[in-house]
Amino acid sequence: MEEFIEHIMAMNEPKLLFILCGIFIFTDVLTGYLKAFKTKKINSSISRDGYLKKVSWLIALIFGFVIDYLVGTQLFLIGTAVVCVITEGISVYENLGELGVSLPFTKYFEKVKDNSEII
């Protein structure tokens, strides 16, 4: 995981970060729809909330880019991209698990999800 974050932080081209986040966001939407079709839980309210979250990610990325441009760093865009990729990646992983794809760390995410419901 640390290596993955280091690779993202090494990307200093904003276009690459936007593309990477876009791929993860698109994959999350796609696997989310597949899961909804499989479980027959297609719901426009859930879909709308999901799209609002995705648009919010794009706004956060643009905001990070603008701050970095004004300040002369690349800290905010890279930080936002790392959080976006990790968050969307976990969501894709969970969706794939619920679609029946056998994944090695599924039990870990179930434990994390169970613990977060307690809090």
Q: How many domains does the chain have?
A: 1
How far is it, in rounded angstroms, from Cα 56 to Cα 53? 5
Structural domain including 58 reads 2-118
As a whole number of angstroms, the longest Cα–Cα distance in the chain is 48
pLDDT, tens digit, 9 for 90 and up, residues 41-87: 888 888 888 889 999 999 999 999 999 889 988 788 888 988 999 89
CA distances from 67 to 20, 70, 72, 101 (A): 20, 5, 8, 40
Q: What pTM did the predictor assign?
A: 0.75
Answer for the pair 11, 20: CB distance below 8 angstroms, yes or no: yes
